Amino acid sequence: METLECIPRKWGNSLGLTIPKEIVEKEGLSEGKPIVITLNARPSLRSIFGTAKFSKTAQEMKDEDRRGWD
């Protein structure tokens, strides 16, 4: 299995990826032959916003900041 980083490009109304010749040959890829692509997209801030849990309240953190770090 090969790992590849590439940039999607506009292809009509879709996006297309170009697979380098070396990987095509190494993996034995050919036109019309199905392949499986696993995407590893980074999570957006919107999906993780508000999920952080803190052991101290905001007020406790502000008070600690005012006192300085002990």
For the CA atoms of 20, 22, 26, 29, the dihedral, rounded to the nearest 10 degrees, stands at: 40
**Better-predicted residue by pLDDT, 43 or 38:** 38
- In this structure, what token pair is assigned to residue 64? 């600690």
Is the Cα torsion angle 56, 58, 63, 68 positive or negative in sign?
A: positive
Q: What is the pTM of this model?
A: 0.47
What are the tens digits of pLDDT across the range 15-36? 998 888 988 998 899 999 998 8
**pLDDT in the model for residue 53:** 75
Query: What pLDDT is stored for residue 47 in this prediction?
Result: 66
